[in-house]
Every structure is written in C-alpha cells, then in structure tokens.
Chain A
Amino acid sequence: EDQRESETVNTELLAHRRRLVDEWNAWRVRCKKERAEQKGQEGGHENQGEEDKEEIEVWIDEVIEQIEEEVVD
C-alpha cells in the first residue's frame, strides 16, 4: 500500500512538473514571437557572424602539487 501511495505521489509530481514546463514554454514562445515581430518592425537586423568561427582548444588540467594548509589556533 505504501508503495502504491508513493507511486501516486510520484505521478502527481510528474504531472505537476509537466504542467510547469508547459506553462513556461508557452510563455517563452509568446515572448519570442512578440520579440520577433518587434524586430521585424524595426527593420530587423539580427546579430550574425557567430557560426563561421571555429575554435580549437586543448585542455590540460594537471595537478602538479597541492598543498592544503590547516591553521590551528
């Protein structure tokens, strides 16, 4: 019975989260649409030129030495 109860809670929580996401997404889509319309009216010059860049980075994260000091008072 306990298990069944927790399952119900889980299902409810899941439904709750699903609803929150739906609300959020609906609001975001509305905002983006309004923003696009406004940009269109202004003559719409979007910022471009982001995608033609390619960066290659090599990461080396090596711990050579690590000292931890503990202060005793």
Chain B
Amino acid sequence: MRPILLQGHERSLTQIKFNRDGDLLFSCSKDHVINVWYTHNGERLGTYDGNNGTVWTVDVDSESLFMVSGAADNTLRLWNVATGKCLYTWEFPTAVKRVAFSEDDNQVVCITEQRMGHQCAIRVFNINRSGDGTKQSKEPAHMFNPIGSKATVCAFTAQPNIIITGHESGKVSLFNVKTGEEINNNERAHSEVVTDLQLSPDKTYCITSSKDKSARIHDTKTLMVIKTFTTETPLNSAALAPNRPYVLLGGGQEAMQVTTTSLRQGKFETRFWHKVFEEEVGRVKGHFGPINTIAVHPKGTYYASGGEDGFVRVHHFDESYFKTELYGDLQIED
C-alpha cells in the first residue's frame, strides 16, 4: 500500500499521536497548530487554533473526548476533540515540553522547561470530566521539581501515582507524584538526552530513544534495561509495534547538517528492528528531513511518522508484514 502524505503543517512536526480506536491521528508542530486527521484516508478532520508558539506535545484521552497540548507560549491547553474549542488554559513561567493522560483519563501530567531562573517542574492536574470541561482547577494536584537533570519526557505507569521520566542527562526515573520522591532511577539508561518514551499497551515496559543513537526497552517497574538497539544516527523517536515483534526508530542528522539530501526522494528512514533479537530488519524511507516523531496504530495495522520536513506520512502495513516469520516459527509474547 502506498503511504498517505498528510500535508497541512507549514513547519516541522513535534509529536503525533493516535487515539485509542486508531481512527484519528493528532499532530502538532512548530507552526503553532494542532491538526487531527482520519487515519484511513488522510483527510483532515480539523484544526485546533489558539497557540502562540511551537506546540511541543499532545495527548488524547481514551474516549477521544478531550485532548491536551503543551506549547512554547507557556500554556497547557485542554481541548474539546469534536468541536475544536479550547476549554481551559493553564499558564506557566516556561514552555510545556511534554503532556500525558493517565490511564483513567482523570489526570494529566506535564513537564515545564527549566529557563530564566525557573526550575524544570512536573505538575499533575486533575481533569474535571463532568459538564463541558471548561471548569478546571487552576492549581495542580501535585507539583515537584525533579532534582538533578531536567526531565524531557514522561508518562503515567501502571502503578497509581507513579510516573516514568526520561531526562536530559540520559537518566530514566520513576517518581511518586504525590511526594515528588524519586523512587528508582537508572542514571546510565542513555548517555545523552532522552528524546521519546512510549509505553507498551499493558504499561509493563517502555521504549526510550536518545540522541546517543540508541533506543532501549526498559521494565517500567524495575527500570532494568531489557533490550538495546544501537543505530548510527541520533534518535528522536521510538515506538513499539503491537502484536508484532518489532520496534520502529526514527531520527537523522540535525536540521543544520542536512545539505546533501537528494531533492527527488526523501532519504530519511524509519528503521525497523526486531525487538527480541536486537537486529535491524528493514527501513522505510520517504522524509526529506529527520524524523521527529513516530506512532503506531493501537492495533498495529498502520504507523505514522512526522518529520522535520513538515510532513506526516501514514503507512499501512501490507500483508507480508503480518505473515512473515523472519526468524522461523518462534512464538514471541507481546
């Protein structure tokens, strides 16, 4: 199947996210806009306007009712998915770099940047889901400043009130959001900034990517590194393919260094690795610039990548992807 090109952003993509059903794909960008697309045909369903700066991050709840976004204009916003209306805006002293919903949709965690005398902060907000969503509490339910290296990515784990974070130093940690206590960490998870963190469907493991050119699978309870995938370019994103034993990695040279790329065809590739054998199994090219963000459909039927080039590419896996037993008949648990 030919990839679907989603054209609508004018600047590089920062994060893309499927909703739980996988029928919608949310994308945010440096052009200040968030778009939502139908995944089956690439048609744009709508746009969320209002941000006055790069939108760094989005997440959508499990019912596709509310969406949250974080941006360089120092705001965290709550949106009505269907109407495109901004329901509530929280303001901070610095940019919001990462947001994520809790599994029950009742909380949102966000990371604000360290800048101009302000420390990096992690806040958790309770989301009032009753009514039209416009009545939210201004103050966070929990807030703390992670000690040491600043956090770059975060997500709720399967355990109540525990979040997993990736840091600028390459550290991966577990924090109790109620107390702000660092419960566990792996200082040497990566040797450079952690650029992405995505959880498995049951949240028992996660994959991180880093500028240190590697991606790793960690046990979210013990933070033990289970697998390592070492590439030759700095990585911006890593995703797990549900129901198949693969991980998808994306990255590339820094935008500054991109000068020798062919004009006819994008040379930047999404790399597929076997998640158990730690071997590269394939590449899909197409982007004209580094790949900033990758997401896989919750059922594992498509994947999408967002690039520095401003495009989102949606690829439907073809039949051979599901049938091929690359390394023989071995049953691998998801």
Contact = CB atoms under 8 A, between A and B. Distances in A.
B243 interface: no
B204 interface: yes
Given A34-B221, A35-B158, A38-B158, A21 B332 contact: yes
A24 B219 contact: no
A15 B219 CA distance: 25
Given A27-B226, A34-B221, A35-B158, A61 B1 contact: yes
A20 interface: yes
B264 interface: yes
A61 B333 contact: no
A5 interface: no
Given A38-B159, A57-B40, A68-B264, A31 B202 contact: yes
B333 A28 contact: yes
Contacts of A42: 160
A21 B331 contact: yes
Contacts, number: 54
A71 B160 CA distance: 55
Given A38-B158, A57-B40, A61-B2, A29 B333 contact: yes
B202 A35 contact: yes
B60 to A, nearest CB: 16
Nearest to A38: B158
B330 interface: yes
A2 interface: no
Interface residues of B, number: 25
Interface of B is mostly: loop
A34 to B, nearest CB: 7
B334 interface: yes
Contacts of A24: 226, 276, 332-333
Interface in A21-41: 21, 24-25, 27-29, 31-32, 34-35, 38
A34 B222 CA distance: 12
Nearest first, the 3 A-B pairs at minimum CB distance are A28-B333, A31-B204, A71-B263
Interface of A: 14, 17-18, 20-21, 24-25, 27-29, 31-32, 34-35, 38, 42, 47, 57, 59, 61, 63, 68-71
23 contacts: A17-B277, A17-B327, A17-B330, A20-B276, A21-B330, A21-B332, A24-B226, A24-B333, A27-B219, A28-B204, A28-B334, A29-B333, A31-B202, A31-B205, A31-B221, A32-B204, A32-B333, A35-B203, A35-B204, A38-B159, A61-B2, A69-B264, A71-B264
Given A25-B333, A31-B202, A34-B221, 10 more contacts: A14-B328, A17-B277, A17-B328, A20-B277, A28-B204, A28-B333, A28-B334, A35-B202, A63-B2, A68-B264
